[in-house]
Amino acid sequence: MPPTRPLVLFIEGQIDTRALYSLALSAMGFDVVAARDGDDAYRRAWEAHPDIVVTDLAMPGYDAWRFLQDLKDDPDTRDIPVVAVTRHVEQSIRERAERDGFAAFVPKPCPPDTLALELRRVLDGIVHE
């Protein structure tokens, strides 16, 4: 069974957006650790070992593709699923995200309840694979 309150690492450069999603996801049954940029996110992923990570492909201060690869290269973080939330919805970007190992690809704008459902779907899939 997935954790009752899965720990989400939410990476977002905009403080208001970060606060909104953190509050909303918390109200929907998740514990949330927020990060402002890629360097902060990688440190938090390594320290907190979240159940799932949510990041924009346009992550500030770090390339999201590099962030994903760094997580996958580290034995302590390689099994953490990473969900891409992005305005870049071109088919080629979606295909690359899937090929490179993102667990899900969610187009923006994405209401918090839609994101929460996708996170649960990914977590359920991880458990039942």
**Tokens standing for 105?**
């690809």
Question: pLDDT tens digit string along 8-50?
Answer: 999 998 899 999 999 999 999 999 999 998 888 989 998 999 9
Q: How many CB atoms lie under 10 A from the CB of residue 39?
A: 14
* pTM of this structure: 0.91
Domains of the chain, earliest start first: 7-128 (3.40.50.2300)
Residue 67, token pair as written in the block: 């962030």
